[in-house]
Structure 1
Amino acid sequence: MTGIDSVQLKEVIVHKVGNPTRSEILKLSANPLTLNDEIVSGLLTKYFLGAFNENEQYRFTHISDLQLNEVYHYIFQIFEDAKNFLPNSALLANFLYSKSTHVKVKEGEFYVAHFDNVPFDGDYVQAIGMFKSETKETFLRVFPHGQSLEVIHEEGVNINKLDKGCLVFKKNTTEGYVACVVDNTNKQSDAQYWIKDFLQVEPYADSYHNTNNTLGMCKQFITKEYAEKFDVSKSDQIDLLNRSMDYFKNNESFTLESFAQEVIHHEEVVDAFRDYKQTYESAKNVVIEDEFDIHLSAVQKQAKQFKTVLKLDKNFHVYIHGRRDLIERGYDELSDKKFYKLYYDEEN
């Protein structure tokens, strides 16, 4: 998140939240932190807010009534009256504790913070933040001892690595607010309790999420489904990855029909792609529109994940940026090895 120099950290409290299935306790603090040190306040603000991408916006939901979403309700109470901060921070910690039962959930510190003057969509608003630190790192501390220096080790939190966070802006109250979410410790496991069980949020159906989800789906389809169903080479996969990314970089809007014709081409692959889209939406619990405006920030984010490197044993890495027609794949019987032949004009 950018532009946080203006942010005022009004209040913050820390609770200890364990995993009840391991008999770890919930320890509630009686009072918020004392924020007399400006350096500490600045470091906390950077730690809390630095990891968020303000383009990735979520909202609180509930299957029947938004008011029954516990986190939404407690956040609403704090926004309504700052005097509700302390009791509702404890209610948030209690609710998180009740959802921390998965075997992979780690004990950690749970911070609740109240911010003012937070930049959002051209304005400055109030925000409530919830953060959990689960990962501890070892640090060396050097200190004077008589005429010498001594070194001891201590465990602490790296302020450049936020494990879990949710920043709720005081915007769109009746629609479930606008929130940004971070979960850096359980991305690929079943222990995604932070987003699914605790927060109960879903992304806004906007151009950013549509672009991000569609590119994520394309990458998964090309590297897994396409490779398995159609027995294509790695270079063919890379070619399709390149053409997919080029489509998003060179167009202002996405339509499933034009993407199928311009990028995928083959009818049987198009059919497999459409089927995979439904599977992906169901598995990820997202809805991807067939038509939407392309969001440049989402393209830039996903471009980092589109690996277009052809790795040949441990000897060669070939970076492929286009022109699949200039790559020829074959097999040499004499050496009993596969080969690639590359055609080019100049050597740099």
Structure 2
Amino acid sequence: MISRKNASISKFIIHKVGNKFNDTKNAFSEKLVDFDEASYDLMLPFLLKPFGSLVQSHRFNHHANVALNEINSYAAQLFDADSDASFIEVSKHIVMHLYEQSSSAQIKTGDVLIVQFEGIEFRDMTTNAIGIFKIESKVNFFQTYLENNSYDVLVQKGINSKKVDKGCLILNQSDAEGNIIFTVDNNSYDAQYWINHFLNIKYADDANNHTQQYIELCKDFSTEILKTSYGAQEQNIFLAKTIDFFKENEIVNVARFKDELFEDEKHIREFENYKKEFEGEQNLVIRNQFDVAEAVVTKEKRKIKTDIKLDTNIQIKLDIDAPDASSEYLERGYDDEKKMHYYKVFFNAEA
């Protein structure tokens, strides 16, 4: 995660990108934006806020040599640009590269913002960064105006200041894998277009990614295998115990994880088989041991829903922080007389 409390914008330019497939042309600016105070105060948090909550970072990728990655090369040139003219020229190349990725009619045209930031804080370091943003969606708003001593109203289109459609932040800071990159895509109509085709980036090989991958594996396994074969209660018990295991251990050992979460050898085999399928589908290999990223666990815990929804308009909400409560105080059965399943809940008093 980055901090923007001391950040500032040093260079900012707007271009428009067309669509190669539809033969819609690009339009380029020749000057940097000179902000007034009100516009600047609104623009800075608008651009940087999406990255403040991101835990996972990316690195540049290329099938032959990462130095041949176009955005990697352009970002390096922008960091080294010694004049406004150089910055403007490189920013145009970025738009042209984005234009070349519009290989279908669904790729939207829009405004492209190329920005240089100063004072970005990341892991106790302060650095500068390059931001690339694409604004695809405009919203309608009312504008009042005075004409002939009377006020009237008209509808105009503008940028929604609440959310960036697509953006990336390339830090002028690297590790063994290269520059640290954060990206957002809130308008992901084409999963390949922004991340794979334009930026050509991959997740960093770190604890954040390893933790994320394993929790995603467990979530998918719980939905596709446990819930389908054994019911929502077993699914929710497994998810609660998974989160509890990650909270209680600084290092995840996969063999120990299986021993602690599964009592039945059949479930262990099902998990191992599903893990192989998951790795094949996602084109990845999950490590047998890795450090836990606490921030990822906290974020994923908030996403997990442990409700049991029944077709009789009744819902049972389980506490993910009490993984043993469901198995101890909730029983599932079948009533032969009513020909219906049931849950029996044990408790001492109503809260």
Decide: shared fold, TM above 0.5.
Answer: yes
- Once the two structures are TM-superposed, the CA of residue 69 in structure 1 deviates from its matched residue by 0.5
Judge which range, 20-29 or 331-340, deviates more: 331-340
Deviation, structure 1 residue 79: 1.2
Structure-2 residue corresponding to 1:220 = 220
CA distance in 2, matches of 1:97, 1:51: 24
Alignment of 1:223-262 (within 5 A): 223-228=223-228, 231-262=229-260
Does residue 317 (structure 1) correspond to residue 302 (structure 2)? The answer is: no
Structure 1 residues 285 and 102, CA, compared in 2 at 3 Å: closer, same or farther? farther
Matching residue within 279, 284, 298 for 2:296: 298
* Partners of 2:2 and 2:120 within 8 A in 1: no
**Distance 1:46-1:221 versus aligned 2 partners, 3 A rule:** same
Contact 1:9 1:113 in 2 (8 A): yes
Displacement of 1:143: 4.7
Equivalent residue number for residue 17 of structure 1: 17
Q: Choose the corresponding residue for 1:326, options 324, 329, 348.
A: 329
Deviations 1:206-236 (A, max 9, x none): 11111122112211111113334xx111111
Aligned to 1:301, the other structure's residue is in SS state helix
Matched, 1:339 2:315: no
State the Cα distance separating 1:242 from its structure 2 match.
Answer: 1.1
Residue number in structure 1 paired with 2:123: 121
Counterpart position of 1:164 = 166
| Cα root mean square deviation, aligned | 2.2
Deviations 1:260-293 (A, max 9, x none): 1111333232233233333333433444322111
Aligned pair 1:265/2:268, yes or no?
no
Superposition deviation, residue 314 in structure 1: 6.2
| 1:154-200 Cα distance to aligned partner (Å, 9 max, x none) | 322222211111101111287431111111221xx653311111111
Task: Give the AA of the match of 1:177.
Answer: N
Pick from 81, 89, 92 the counterpart of residue 90 of structure 1. 92
In 2 relative to 1, CA 142–81 (structure 1 residues): closer, same or farther, beyond 3 Å?
same
Letter in 1 for 2:37: E
SS in structure 1 of the partner of residue 5 of structure 2: helix
**Cα deviations across residues 59-86 of structure 1 (Å, max 9, x unaligned)?**
1121111221011011111112243311
- Relative to structure 1, the CA distance from residue 284 to residue 135 in structure 2 (aligned partners, 3 Å threshold; closer, same or farther) is farther
Cα distance in 2, alignment partners of residues 165 and 82 from structure 1: 24
Deviations 1:315-339 (A, max 9, x none): 2221112332322223334444332
Distance change in 2, residues 1:130/1:283 (3 Å) = farther
* Partners of 2:2 and 2:122 within 8 A in 1: no
Q: 1:227 to 1:108 in 2, by over 3 A?
A: same
Give 3-state SS (helix, strand or coil) of 1:166's partner.
strand
With over 3 angstroms needed to count, the CA separation of the structure-2 counterparts of 1:30 and 1:225, relative to structure 1, is: farther
Unaligned runs of 5+ in 1: none
Within the alignment, does 1:38 sit opposite 2:40 as a pair? no
Structure 1 residues 316 and 56: CA distance shift in structure 2, 3 A:
same
Cα separation, partners in 2 of 1:332 and 1:96, compared to 1, 3 Å: same
Number of the residue aligned with 1:191: 191
Change (3 A) 1:138 1:313: farther
Change (3 A) 1:190 1:264: farther
Once residues 153 and 263 of structure 2 are traced to their aligned partners in structure 1, the CA distance between those partners, rounded to angstroms, is 64
Q: Is the 8 A contact 1:245 1:303 kept in 2?
A: yes
Shift of 1:123: 1.8
Structure 1 position 205, deviation (Å): 1.2
Return closer, same or farther for 1:18/1:264 CA change in 2, 3 Å cut-off: farther
Residue 156 of structure 2 is matched in structure 1 by 154
Counterpart secondary structure, 2:214: helix
- For residues 52-109 of structure 1, what are the alpha-carbon distances to aligned partners after superposition, in whole Å with 9 as ceiling and x for unaligned? 1453221112111122101101111111224331111111111111112244322221
Query: Could you tell me the TM-score, scaled by structure 1's length?
Result: 0.91
Partner of 2:322 in structure 1?
none
Counterpart contact for 1:126–1:169, Cα < 8 Å: yes
Q: C-alpha distance in 2, partners of 1:82/1:238? A: 57
| Cα contact 2:226–2:232 (8 A) shared by 1 | no
Task: Judge conservation of contact 2:59–2:201 (CA < 8 Å) in 1.
Answer: yes
Q: Using the alignment, how far apart are the partners of 1:223 and 1:40 within structure 2? A: 46
Change (3 A) 1:333 1:173: closer
Superposed displacement of residue 137, structure 1: 2.3
TM-score by length of 2: 0.90
- Whole-Å separation in 1 of the counterparts to 2:333 and 2:40: 62
Residue 275 of structure 2 corresponds to which residue in structure 1? 277
**Distance in 1 between the 2:268 and 2:259 partners?**
8
Please, which moves more after superposition, 146-155 or 170-179? 146-155
Report SS of the residue matched to 1:159: coil
Instruction: Give the superposition deviation at 1:2.
Output: 5.5
Aligned residues: 343
Change (3 A) 1:320 1:79: same
Q: Distance in 2 between matches of 1:284 and 1:139?
A: 42
